[in-house]
C-alpha cells in the first residue's frame, strides 16, 4: 500500500513539470471528453473519433506504464484482472469522477489511479 501514495506524488510532480493537455488535463475534461468512448459509432465525426481514441490510449498507457514499474503484487497501486478492456477502464474512471465531483479538477491520471485502486485492490501479502 506504500506504492499508491508514491505513484500519486509522482503524478502530481509530473503534472507540474509538464504542459497540460486540454483533452485530459483533469477529471472534468476526462469525464466530458471520454464520454466519446461510450457513444462512439462508425462514421462519426473525426473530433469524436479522436477523443475516443485518445481516451482509450490514455488509459492503456496509464495501466501499462504502472504495470511496467511494478515488480510484485504487494507494491502495486492496483491489481487489474487480465481480461479488462480499455472501455471498462474508461467507465471505471468516469464513474469515480462522477461519484467524486468535488475532486473533478484534480489531475486525471491521479483520479484514474485511485479509481483503479478502488476497483481492483491488490490482495494483502500473507506472512
Render pLDDT for 49-81 as a digit per residue (tens, 0 to 9).
Answer: 888 888 888 888 888 777 766 655 556 788 888
Check residue 34 and give its pLDDT: 85
Dihedral angle over CA of 56, 59, 64, 65, nearest 10: 130
Check residue 74 and give its pLDDT: 54
Q: Give buried/exposed letters for 77-95 (b at 16+ CB in 10 A, else e).
A: bbebeeeeebeebbbbbbe
pTM of the model: 0.65
Check residue 89 and give its pLDDT: 92
Check residue 103 and give its pLDDT: 94
Q: Which residue ranges in the chain fall short of pLDDT 70?
A: 1-24, 41-44, 68-75, 125, 127
Check residue 47 and give its pLDDT: 79
Check residue 68 and give its pLDDT: 64
Amino acid at each position: 500500500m506504500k506504492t499508491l501514495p508514491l505513484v500519486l506524488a509522482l503524478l502530481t510532480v509530473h503534472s507540474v513539470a509538464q504542459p497540460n493537455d486540454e483533452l485530459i488535463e483533469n477529471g472534468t475534461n476526462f469525464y466530458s471528453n471520454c464520454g466519446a468512448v461510450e457513444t462512439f459509432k462508425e462514421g462519426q465525426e473525426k473530433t469524436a473519433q479522436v477523443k475516443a481514441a485518445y481516451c482509450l490510449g490514455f488509459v492503456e498507457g496509464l495501466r501499462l506504464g504502472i504495470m511496467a514499474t511494478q515488480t510484485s503484487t504487494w507494491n502495486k497501486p492496483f491489481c487489474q484482472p487480465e481480461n479488462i478492456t480499455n472501455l471498462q477502464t474508461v467507465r471505471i474512471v468516469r464513474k469515480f469522477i462522477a461519484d467524486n465531483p468535488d475532486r473533478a479538477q484534480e489531475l486525471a491520471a491521479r483520479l484514474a489511479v485511485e479509481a483503479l485502486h478502488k476497483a481492483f485492490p491488490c490482495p494483502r501479502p500473507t506472512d
